[in-house]
Amino acid sequence: MVLKLHTLLKIKCGDFMSGQIADYKNSYLSGNLKEDIAFFKDIFKRDVILRVKEISARKEVPFDCALVYMDGMTDSEQINEAIIRPLLTQNVNNESGSITDYIGKQILFARDVKQKEIVADMLEGILYGEALLLIDGSKQALMMDVKGFRTRGINEPQEERILQGPREGFEEAALLNLAMLRRKLLTPDFCTEMFRVGRRSSTAVFVCYLGTLANEKILEKLKKKIQKIDIDGILDTNYIIELIKEKGSPIFKTSGLTERPDVVAARLLEGRIAIVVDGTPMVATIPYLFCENFQSDEDYYQNYLLSSAERLLRYFCFFLSISIPAVFIALSTFHRALLPTPFVISVMQLRGGVPFTPMTECVVMILVFEILKEAGIRMSQNLGHALSIVGGLVVGQAAVEARIISSPILIIVALSGIAGLMLPRLKSAVFYFRIGFVALSSVLGLYGYFLGLIFLLFYVFSLNSFGIDYTISLKKANIQSLKDTLFRLPWSYMVYRPVFNKNKVRKGNKK
């Protein structure tokens, strides 16, 4: 019966079924080495990197076996020294019991040897860089960890550079990223759980947390959402973030995203949960609060007075970047009486001969600024610098001299754009609200601006991240919650963690 079932499954595999590992959950080995080898070759018949090495051991107890692995994903030295050499040189003396169990425990030198019965588990291991040992006469196989695929190496993240603090960043291999977190959190309380997500990619997704700190309700909610994901493949952490995010939060981020192990470790120590996806250096953290958009990694590695001043400056720059164009348009168009007369005269003289309305000028310049910024990022480093100079000086000056754009609008939009660069985590929010405020101010003046400001406040205060209020540190403001929100006090004063974790005491014996 087993042989017939195996043959039927093999025929289905040749037709490719749906091309998913789940297709083989009810498939088992036949026990006949030749048939099992043919079975795996048929599954990967269009994959040229599959390697099958047949081995014949002729010692006291002769047996035949075959090693199945993916070339380029395994360490050839480990395969030779930990698997092939022992099989050919060691004597197998197993008078009773399973030969598979004896070889796995007594013969092989591989660091992690597991017995597998289901073909789906074997395929998952092979595709993740492990080697499979098929043994003639056995319906069980041995799976060995001999991963050896090359990685990029540990470097400082380009987008999160700091002057003081650790210089290492995550890379694409999830296991190395977990090891970097483990190095920073030398405690058995550090927990990791793995999920396979993606019908075709079967990507490893790890959920990391500190067991005595993480909120169990948030953790269970996250795990349920990850298990419900139904998609062909996961190639980056943002896939997960978009599929599990809360409704009503398309503009502001409700999940943190970083390439720095020290940042993730710090957030885990505050009771947050991290999501590590294999194949990408970006790690997500939840819950994510509004105040985190204004925090920098370097705030905690330098003097608290300097950190506090810089953090307050970021809040001011957020307000500045979304407000300056709108307020200028409202005052220069509808409320000129609020401005000094010499200033109004100067602005009107500089606008002489410009054919467009202030709103049109402002929107066009905002879009041009965004185009130049994106082009500078996408192009090579040297060309990007040259483009910024040409766009900012030559094109801007030429547009003003040609009377296409007035110089006050150019100055206002440039100042707004530079202030927005202080807030990379709020890039999309700054852009959308800047445009929205300009549109409202062009129609209703300052009334439109304040209407937009009220909408912004209501919108931000209505958001939540996995059931935690997005602005909980401001809604329930007290001395402790403000110690690391608008500014940063010394560590000796920050006794408590954020309110959403189980153990709120960070230091000392306070309760």
Q: Is the pLDDT of residue 12 over 50?
A: no
pLDDT of residue 4: 40
Q: How far from 362 is each of 146, 167, 368, 406, 502, CA to CA, in Å?
A: 59, 40, 10, 10, 49
Question: Using an 8 Å Cβ cutoff, are 222 and 273 in contact?
Answer: yes
Q: How far from 70 is each of 85, 204, 357, CA to CA, in Å?
A: 19, 18, 64
* Structure token pair of residue 495: 């006794």
Task: Please name the amino acid found at residue 87.
Answer: L
Q: Is the pLDDT of residue 7 over 50?
A: no
360's CB contacts (< 8 A; 6+ apart) are none
Q: Is the pLDDT of residue 288 over 70?
A: yes
pLDDT of residue 383: 65
Lowest mean pLDDT among 5-9, 23-27, 34-38, 164-168: 5-9
pLDDT of residue 477: 58
Q: Is the pLDDT of residue 140 over 60?
A: yes
The DSSP letter of residue 278 is T
pLDDT tens digits, one per residue of 360-387: 888 888 888 888 777 777 776 666 566 6
* Structure token pair of residue 192: 């990791």
pTM: 0.81
Average pLDDT of 194-199? Answer: 88
Sorting pLDDT into bands at 50, 70 and 90, what band is 99?
Answer: confident
488's CB contacts (< 8 A; 6+ apart) are 299, 300, 304, 307, 308, 311
Average pLDDT of 348-370? Answer: 81
What DSSP string runs through 71-93?
Answer: TTTB-HHHIIIIIIHHHHHS---
* Locus of tokens 């997005």: 470
Distance CA 244, CA 231 (A): 12
Q: Is the pLDDT of residue 249 over 70?
A: no
pLDDT of residue 5: 43
pLDDT tens digits, one per residue of 86-97: 888 877 766 656
SS3 percent helix, strand, coil of the chain, rounded to 5, is 50, 15, 35
Distance CA 68, CA 97 (A): 24
Secondary element (H or E) of residue 121: helix 119-127
Sorting pLDDT into bands at 50, 70 and 90, what band is 188?
Answer: confident
Q: Is 202 helix (H, G, I), strand (E, B) or coil?
A: coil
Residue 410's nearest CA partner among 442, 447, 368, 464 is 368
Residue 473, burial from CB neighbour count under 10 angstroms (0-12, 13-18, 19+) = buried
* Residue 204, phi then psi, degrees to nearest 5: -80, 120
In sequence order, the β-bridge partners of residue 53 are 67
Q: Is the pLDDT of residue 476 over 70?
A: no
* Structure token pair of residue 185: 């959190």
Q: Is the pLDDT of residue 314 over 80?
A: yes
Average pLDDT of 52-71? Answer: 84
* Locus of tokens 């309305």: 357
Question: Using an 8 Å Cβ cutoff, are 88 and 101 in contact?
Answer: no
Distance CA 281, CA 389 (A): 31
pLDDT of residue 3: 39
Query: Could you check whether the bond before residue 281 is cis, i.e. omega within 30 degrees of 0?
Result: no
303's CB contacts (< 8 A; 6+ apart) are none
Mean per-residue pLDDT over the chain, rounded: 82
Helix residue ranges per DSSP H, 234-392:
237-244, 261-268, 304-333, 341-350, 358-378, 381-389
The DSSP letter of residue 245 is P
Distance CA 408, CA 311 (A): 29
Lowest mean pLDDT among 31-35, 36-40, 199-203, 494-498: 494-498
pLDDT of residue 247: 72
pLDDT of residue 9: 42
Sorting pLDDT into bands at 50, 70 and 90, what band is 276?
Answer: very high
What DSSP string runs through 186-232?
Answer: -STTEEEEEEEE-TTT-EEEEEEEETTTS-HHHHHHHHHHHHH---S
Distance CA 410, CA 406 (A): 7
* Structure token pair of residue 3: 């042989």
412's CB contacts (< 8 A; 6+ apart) are 324, 325, 328, 362
Average pLDDT of 71-84? Answer: 87
Average pLDDT of 440-457? Answer: 91
